[in-house]
Amino acid sequence: MAEQLPTAIQKFIDTTNNADSEGFVSVFTTDGSINDWGNEYDGTDRIARWNQTDNIGKQSHFELVNFKDQGANKWLVNLKVTGNGFNGTSPFTFEIEGAKIKSMVISPD
């Protein structure tokens, strides 16, 4: 049986591509976090600000390249990013809690 991308990560991609800021923020747990190349954004309000300054606010679009289940609810997802900010392929590491994203780390290749 082939691995399937967790629903929360698919929603992360879809809400970004559809410019759905409210939906994007709701994909994360209330105490969720983003680490974007070492810059930390903890909690719903900071995630919403990151979304406006670095994601949907930059018209980002994600294309799934590949993904791997790393066990313990952690997933490594390579996304091709285009828009008015960062452009290129980058690894995203997600930790899933229930049906939501607990943490997301974007790091250099």
End-to-end Cα distance, the chain: 29
pLDDT band at 1 (very low <50, low <70, confident <90, very high): very low
Kindly list the structural domains of the chain, giving each domain's residue range(s) and its CATH number in brackets, ordered by start: 7-106 (3.10.450.50)
**For residue 33, which of 109, 107, 102 has the smallest C-alpha distance?**
102
Half-sphere exposure of 27 (CA within 13 A, CB side): 26
Confidence (pTM)? 0.95
One-letter identity of residue 64: L
Q: Give the model confidence (pLDDT) of 18-30 as tens digits.
A: 999 999 999 999 9
Sheet holding 74-82, edge to edge: 39-42, 28-36, 100-106, 88-97, 74-82, 61-71
